[in-house]
Amino acid sequence: MDRTAVRDMEERDLERVAEIEALSFSSPWSIEAFRKELRENSLAVYLVCEIDGELAGYMGMWKVVDEGHVTNVAVDPKFRGMGVGNELLSEMVIRARESNLVSMTLEVRVSNVQAIGLYKKHGFKDVGTRPKYYDNGEDAIIMWKTL
């Protein structure tokens, strides 16, 4: 991988974030939804990963009491398989620990084998299923990690 940097998401990133979101999900969040998260949600932590200055992916998490709830993770298709998700998740785990969270949780499509592998590599465990969780009727695997 070339030079990577993970940093806090800023409003100047939102156009690119919305572009990656649209490339990644069938029901993408709007740019306004991300703007609201940054401006109004004091529980939210959003990170971006850049490769040689180009925004390649992002990740969000809500700090709910003592848990981190991952809201979304997306990587531009042209940067997938280059470790962007790993960089983002590694930094988010650090942020969760610094915030004294005791665990993290997320949902992931049963078909997203690559993401499931990444989460398992970081110590997330499959604890259940949410049937028909996604808009296309696909189930979600519920995963948790103790910090």
The residues assigned a catalytic role are: 107, 119
Where is 134: in which H helix or E strand?
A: none
SS (H, E, C) 60-128: EEEEECCEEEEEEEEECHHHCCCCHHHHHHHHHHHHHHHCCCCEEEEEEECCCHHHHHHHHHCCCEEEE
What is the C-alpha to C-alpha distance for residues 105 and 75, in angstroms, rounded to an integer? 19
Pair of tokens at residue 23: 């490339």
